[in-house]
């Protein structure tokens, strides 16, 4: 039977036809903006630029490793490439792009007009951006390992004593330290803003039990950020003191401890994985239900699992250090803690599967990336469990098996969900639909390239190929695997170019999206695409976790079924 | 008056745009950049940072600066984009029924504790019979955590070690609880042949997986485990844990057993395929509703 649900909400639309403005005026608008949406877009824009830069660095490394005894780049340049690739991807692509989406979406999803501290929001963005610029300025101003390279070249986790002045003369390591310090200030500022916004600026009716799961996940991510970034900043300051004023925190010959750096770094470094992956979960929580045409399965369990992951992830850092020789007690603890984190993670995967179960699944580009994420994250988790076993880790620590494992998480899970998020929210951000046809080409090409690269990358690891190796002899049996891995990287690059083309083309030529192209249920879809600067002229009020479902289906609203409301209602009906 | 009112209605106050946060960020960045370039850069950065802070304070003190943003309104319809919606026949309870009450955490915890105690009995018997010590099996379990203990002598493993006791208690306690929770969650989904499922199938499956995995993870420990006795202790756990869970869960009503697996697992429901009265007439509190 045909259904057209009546309108029950008045929305406000700004008149869009404005006179064409001078580019300096537009630039001024963006530089001075405190609007969370523009700041979110600036985060996303600068992350995409760094994504391209770090992607090119990865390609250069893969060309270098494609064949044995290759000298495509020098060893010094290679050291700089893997350091800059890792640092850029984690600090200047992963975190900002996820915080960018958070900035854009959170106020819209909770029915607020802006973040709690709009100026702090702008400050956080700019200081992070200047951190990225400072890092890359090192190519001009630094002087690295052996005095030959210019970019930082001590690896993205910069183990002591390699970072000591004697082993890393010049300023390349200082650039790395200072850039991360700046980025850390911005990260803390944004996390603070997200927490304050979520706690204080929810619209009427938006209880914590009705908060969209995306917002819950960002809340947990922000909490993790507070705890994790502090130790990193402390370690960076200690390293600067070592390098500038001659203290000996990490100088083993003078009574310091190189292992201390490892602890500080990984106390940040492992929660960082969850700081990156929780927003990816957040996207999945919104996208999978909409394209399954079902409410998320097990909302309370999803929230509990997210909070559980947040806590447990703070107690697993030393599984990165099994090869140090921590002793049986620590090995046991960190093995068990690492394994236990698979329980809440498993709950999430089962809940996503249960959401898909029996749903009317729409295989849009966004959904295809989300389904790819589900399978790939599962595999990444399984190799994670393997590496959590200390003796197994002793065999494969610092091998390409580890590189393959964490790229399965970072690319197979996080990047796939970022792509999914682009396909899902691009219409909201720009008012135009991305081309589904190009999106599916993008998906299949990227999927093939990803599996060619990162499935096969496990094999040279198992065969003993260490990470960060500059080149290798032909008789090791690694060549065919490296050639295939590099071919996969090229396919991923082509797919990414297709995605960039799709975004640009669709911005001008894409179909007009309308306010709610996916027939979705959260508040951001109740305003225009793109939303006006004030988001909502009238602050909405919600009665359930799916406010737009309630508006579209007043005959069968979710609010009738949510525990807090239904119990008194039933009681009142009974009393009648 | 009327005009003023409509003017107010069409404007909203939003925080004013400002460059001062950017200036402050640039200033701080330059202060740090000076450390790797030239001191003059730090001085410039310091000036910009101070200017940025002062400018920012002027933005928010004594009152936060706002700008009026024009709002134009029009009524739009929030409708489902689906013009055709298939609606399933709606029963008297309006929505389908999901068996949300089939599993309570306390059930699994009780089962895990009981099973863990039962499991220790065959383990101790094995230790006494083979090594004349009640501590051997416990220390062997602790070797799962203390890697070097896997290669220790039988005499060492037969002695009492406080560390071994604590490690074994933690490992055994946690594992028993987790497996108990798994039983609590899973057994209601498999209500037929509970003794066979809980007491034999699951322990044998678990032992098989563990043995094959341990052969890779720790071959030395794998060799030292007496798998015959291991299976017996697993069966003891499974029987007792399964018994306690089934006793507590109370979901093995004929109505529940007749539901398909996907419904028992809570994935979806099929109330419309069943008579509503069948379920509501039952006074079993674990009955799906």
According to the model, what pLDDT value does residue B191 have? 66
Nearest to A401 by CA among A383, A381, A382: A383
Among candidates B16, B32, B79 on the partner chain, residue whose Cβ is nearest the Cβ of A182 = B32
B4 has pLDDT over 50: no
Nearest chain A residue (CA) to B144: A332
**Which residues of chain A lie closer than 8 angstroms to B263, CB-CB?**
none
Helix (H) or strand (E) holding B14: strand B11-15
Domain enclosing residue B36, as ranges: 8-70
Same domain, B183 and B43: no
Residue A554 touches chain B, beta carbons under 8 Å: no
Instruction: Residue A556: name the closest of B83, B85, B264 by CA.
Output: B85
- Chain A residues 374-393 within an 8 A CB cutoff of chain B: 389-392
| 3 state SS of B139 | helix
ipTM of the complex model: 0.90
Contacts of B60 (CB under 8 A, 6+ apart): A119
Specify the pLDDT at position A124: 97
Q: Could B36 and A174 be called an inter-chain contact, meaning their C-beta atoms sit closer than 8 Å? A: yes
* Residue A20 pLDDT: 78
Residue B207 lies in a domain: yes
**How is chain B split among helix, strand and coil, in percent rounded to 5?**
65, 5, 30
Residue spans of the domains in chain A: they are 33-146+168-210, 212-279+290-345, 361-511, 516-576
In chain B, the residue whose alpha carbon lies closest to the alpha carbon of A513 is: B81
Q: CA-CA distances (angstroms) from residue B68 to A32, A208, B10, B12, B71?
A: 16, 31, 10, 5, 9
A114 in B contact zone (CB under 8 Å): yes
Tell me: do B140 and B275 sit in the same domain. Answer: yes
Contact status of A524 with chain B (Cβ, < 8 Å): no
Using pLDDT thresholds of 50, 70 and 90, give the confidence band for residue B117.
Answer: very high
On whether both B166 and B274 belong to a single domain, the answer is yes
In a domain, residue B217? The reply is yes
Nearest CB partner across the interface for B15, out of A2, A14, A114: A114
pLDDT at B1 over 70: no
Q: Which of B9, B11, B60, B80 to mutate to test the interface with A (most CBs of A within 10 A)?
A: B80
The pLDDT assigned to A9 comes to 44
d(CA B6, CA A502): 43
């963005």: which residue's tokens? A125
Q: Is the torsion defined by CA of A204, A208, A210, A216 positive or negative?
A: positive
Considering just the CA atoms, what is the radius of gyration of chain A in Å? 24
Q: What is the CATH number of the domain that holds B36?
A: 1.10.287
B112 falls within a domain: yes
Same domain for B143 and B60, yes or no, is no
Q: How confident is the model at residue B2 (pLDDT cuts 50, 70, 90)?
A: very low
- The values of phi and psi at residue B13, to 5°, are -95, 120
The verdict on B122 and B263 lying in the same domain is yes
Same-domain pairing of B161 and B244: yes
CB atoms within 10 A of CB A199: 11
Mean pLDDT of chain B: 78
Lowest mean pLDDT among A117-126, A215-224, B8-17, B278-287: B278-287
Rounded CA gap, B258 and A502, in Å?
52
Does the beta carbon of A300 lie under 8 angstroms from any beta carbon of chain B?
Answer: no
Which tokens hold the place of A243? 């390098």
CB contact under 8 A, A552 and B78: yes
Determine the Cα angle at B58 with ends B57 and B59, to 5°: 85
Best residue of B11, B22, B151, B186 to probe chain A, by most A CBs closer than 10 Å: B22
Contact B80 A553 (CB under 8 A): yes
Q: With a CB-CB cutoff of 8 Å, which residues 482-511 of chain A face chain B?
A: none
Chains A, B: CB pairs < 8 Å: 183
- The percent of residues in chain B predicted with pLDDT above 90, rounded, is 30
B275 and B141 belong to one structural domain:
yes
Q: What is the pLDDT of residues B234-268, one digit of tens each?
A: 999 999 998 888 777 665 556 666 666 666 655 55
**B119 & B246 share domain:** yes
Q: Give yes or no: residues B166 and B50 share one domain.
A: no
Q: How many C-beta atoms lie closer than 10 Å to residue B205's C-beta?
A: 11
Both tokens of residue A346?
């498993």
Given a cut of 70, is residue B143 above it in pLDDT?
yes
Indicate the DSSP class of residue A73: S
Please check whether residue A130 touches B, CB under 8 A.
yes
Residues B120 and B233 in one domain: yes
Comparing CB atoms, the residue among A14, A122, A553 nearest residue B21 is: A122
Burial class (CB in 10 A: 0-12, 13-18, 19+), A455: middle
Instruction: Tell me the C-alpha distance between B283 and A570, whole Å.
Output: 19
Q: Are A164 and A241 in contact (CB under 8 A)?
A: no
Q: How far is CA A340 from the centre of its chain?
A: 22
Residue B70 phi/psi, 5-degree rounding, is -75, 135
Using a 10 angstrom Cβ sphere, with 0-12 exposed, 13-18 middle and 19 or more buried, the burial of residue A130 is buried
Q: Do A389 and B217 touch (CB under 8 A)?
A: yes
User: Does the beta carbon of A433 lie under 8 angstroms from any beta carbon of chain B?
Assistant: no
Q: Which of B84, B147, B267 sits opposite A354 (nearest CB)?
A: B267
Band (pLDDT 50/70/90 cuts) for residue B40 is: very high
The H-or-E segment that residue A370 falls in is helix A365-388
- What span, in angstroms and rounded, lies between the C-alpha atoms of A460 and A400? 6
Omega of the bond leading into B62 within 30 degrees of 0 (cis)? yes
CA proximity to A294, closest of A364, A359, A366, A354: A359
Instruction: Mark whether B180 and B56 lie in a shared domain.
Output: no
* Residues facing B66 on adjacent strands: B15
Q: How far apart are CA A225 and CA A183, in angstroms?
A: 12
Q: Does A331 touch chain B (CB under 8 A)?
A: yes
* Residue to substitute from B9, B10, B12, B17, interface A, most A β-carbons within 10 A: B17
Taking the Cβ of residue A141 and every Cβ of chain B, the question of whether any pair is shorter than 8 Å is answered with yes
Mean pLDDT of B156-173: 90
Within a domain: B77: no
DSSP string, A155-192: TTTT-TTTTSTTTS-SSHHHHHHHHHHHHHHHHHHHHH
CB spacing of A32 vs B76 below 8 angstroms: no
Does A537 contact B71 at a Cβ distance shorter than 8 Å? Answer: yes
CA distance A555 to A551: 9
Six-digit token string for A275: 């700081």
Q: Please report the pLDDT score of residue B271 as a whole number.
A: 47
Closest CB to B21: pick one of A6, A126, A534. Answer: A126
Q: Confirm whether B248 is domain-assigned.
A: yes
Judged by a CB distance cut-off of 8 A, whether residue A12 touches chain B is yes
Closest CA to A301 of B49, B200, B100: B100
Q: What is the dihedral of CA A327, A339, A278, A129, to 10 degrees?
A: 20
In a domain? residue B61: yes
Contacts for B204-207: CB closer than 8 Å, 24+ residues apart: B204/B231, B204/B234, B206/B179, B206/B234, B207/B231, B207/B234
Low pLDDT (below 70) residues in chain A: 1-18, 143-149, 563-576
Shortest CA gap A447–chain B (Å): 29
A12 φ, ψ to 5°? -115, 130
Total domain count, chain B: 2
* Gyration radius (Cα) of chain B, Å: 34
CA distance A31 to chain B (A): 7
Which residues in chain B are closer than 8 Å to A123, comparing Cβ atoms? 21-22, 24-25
Report if residue B215 sits inside a domain: yes
- Token pair in block for residue B12: 């909203």
- The backbone torsions φ and ψ at residue A55, rounded to the nearest 5 degrees and listed phi first, read -65, -40
Predicted confidence (pLDDT) at residue B147 exceeds the cutoff of 80: no
List the single best residue of B18, B59, B78 to mutate versus A (max A Cβ within 10 A).
Answer: B78
Selection from B90, B39, B102 nearest residue B250 by Cα: B102
> From the list A4, A127, A328, which residue is nearest B29 (CB)?
A127
Q: Is the torsion defined by CA of A329, A332, A338, A344 positive or negative?
A: negative
Chain A residue with Cα closest to B21: A123
């Amino acid at each position: 039977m045909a259904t057209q649900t009546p309108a029950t909400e008045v929305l406000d639309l700004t008149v869009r036809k404005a006179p064409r403005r001078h580019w300096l005026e537009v630039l001024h608008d963006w530089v001075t903006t405190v609007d969370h949406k523009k700041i979110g877009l600036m985060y996303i824009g600068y992350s995409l630029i760094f994504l391209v830069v770090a992607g090119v660095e990865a390609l250069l490394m893969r060309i270098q490793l494609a064949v044995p005894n290759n000298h495509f780049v020098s060893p010094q340049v290679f050291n700089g490439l893997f350091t800059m690739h890792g640092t850029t991807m984690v600090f200047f692509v992963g975190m900002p792009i996820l915080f960018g989406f958070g900035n854009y979406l959170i106020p819209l999803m909770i029915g607020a007009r802006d973040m709690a501290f709009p100026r702090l929001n702008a400050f956080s963005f700019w200081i992070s951006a200047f951190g990225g610029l400072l890092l890359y300025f090192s190519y001009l101003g630094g002087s690295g390992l052996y005095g030959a390279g210019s970019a930082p070249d001590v690896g993205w986790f910069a183990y002591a004593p390699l970072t000591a002045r004697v082993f890393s003369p010049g300023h390349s390591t200082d650039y790395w330290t200072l850039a991360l310090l700046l980025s850390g200030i911005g990260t803390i500022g944004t996390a603070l803003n997200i927490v304050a916004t979520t706690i204080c600026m929810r619209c009427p009716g938006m209880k914590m039990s009705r908060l969209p799961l995306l917002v819950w996940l960002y809340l947990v991510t922000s909490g993790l950020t507070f705890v994790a970034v502090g130790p990193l900043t402390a370690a960076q300051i200690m390293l600067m003191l070592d390098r500038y004023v001659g203290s000996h925190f990490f100088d083993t010959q003078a009574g310091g401890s190189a292992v201390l750096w490892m602890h500080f770094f990984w106390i940040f470094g492992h929660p960082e994985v969850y700081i990156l992956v929780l927003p990816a979960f957040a996207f999945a929580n919104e996208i999978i239900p909409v394209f399954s045409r079902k409410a998320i399965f097990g909302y309370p369990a999803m929230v509990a699992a997210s909070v559980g992951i947040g806590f447990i992830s703070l107690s697993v850092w030393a599984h990165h250090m099994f090869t140090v020789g921590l002793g049986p007690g620590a090995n046991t603890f960190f093995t068990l803690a690492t394994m236990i984190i698979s329980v809440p993670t498993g709950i999430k995967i089962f809940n996503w599967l249960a959401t898909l179960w029996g749903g009317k699944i729409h295989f849009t580009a966004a959904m295809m990336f989300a389904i790819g994420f589900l399978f790939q994250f599962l595999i990444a988790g399984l190799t994670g469990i393997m590496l959590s076993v200390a003796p197994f880790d002793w065999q494969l620590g610092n091998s390409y098996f580890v590189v393959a494992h964490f790229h399965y998480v970072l690319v197979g899970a996080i990047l796939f969900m970022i792509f999914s998020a682009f396909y899902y929210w691009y219409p909201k951000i720009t008012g135009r639909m991305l081309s589904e046809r190009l999106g599916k080409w993008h998906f299949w090409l990227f999927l093939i390239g990803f599996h060619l690269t990162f499935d096969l990358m496990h094999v040279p690891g198992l065969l003993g190929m260490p990470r960060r190796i500059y080149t290798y002899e032909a008789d090791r049996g690694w060549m065919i695997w490296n050639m295939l891995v590099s071919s996969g990287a090229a396919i991923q690059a082509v797919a990414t170019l297709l995605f960039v083309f799709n975004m640009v083309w669709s911005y001008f030529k894409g179909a007009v999206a309308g306010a709610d192209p996916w027939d979705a249920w959260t508040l951001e879809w109740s305003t225009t695409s793109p939303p006006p600067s004030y988001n909502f002229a009238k602050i909405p009020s919600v009665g359930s976790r799916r406010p737009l479902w309630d508006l579209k289906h007043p005959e069968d609203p979710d609010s009738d079924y949510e525990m807090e409301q239904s119990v008194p209602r039933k009681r009142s009906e009974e009393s009648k | 008056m009327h005009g003023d009112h409509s003017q107010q209605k069409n404007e909203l106050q939003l925080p004013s745009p400002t460059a001062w946060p950017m200036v402050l960020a640039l200033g701080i960045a330059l202060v740090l950049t000076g450390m790797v370039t030239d001191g003059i850069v730090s001085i410039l950065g310091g000036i910009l940072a101070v200017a940025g802070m002062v400018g920012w304070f002027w933005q928010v003190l004594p009152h936060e600066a706002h700008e009026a943003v024009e709002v134009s309104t029009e009524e739009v319809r929030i409708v489902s984009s689906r013009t055709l919606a298939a609606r399933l026949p709606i029963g008297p309870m309006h929505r389908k029924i999901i068996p949300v009450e089939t599993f309570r955490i306390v059930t699994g915890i009780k089962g895990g504790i009981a099973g863990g105690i039962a499991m220790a009995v065959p383990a101790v018997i094995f230790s006494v019979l083979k090594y004349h010590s009640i501590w051997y099996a416990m220390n062997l379990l602790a070797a799962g955590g203390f890697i070097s203990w896997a290669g220790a002598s039988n005499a060492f493993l037969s002695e009492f070690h406080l560390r071994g006791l604590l490690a074994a208690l933690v490992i055994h306690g946690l594992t028993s609880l987790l497996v108990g929770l798994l039983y609590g969650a899973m057994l209601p989904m498999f209500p037929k042949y509970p003794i066979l499922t809980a007491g034999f199938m699951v322990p044998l499956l678990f032992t098989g997986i563990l043995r094959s995995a341990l052969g890779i993870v720790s071959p030395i420990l794998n060799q030292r485990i007496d798998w015959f006795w291991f299976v017996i202790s697993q069966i003891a756990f499974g029987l007792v844990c399964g018994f306690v869970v089934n006793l507590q869960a109370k979901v093995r009503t004929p109505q529940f057993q007749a539901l398909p697996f996907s419904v028992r697992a809570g994935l979806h429901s099929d109330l419309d395929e069943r008579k509503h009265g069948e379920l509501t007439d039952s006074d079993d509190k674990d009955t799906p509703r």
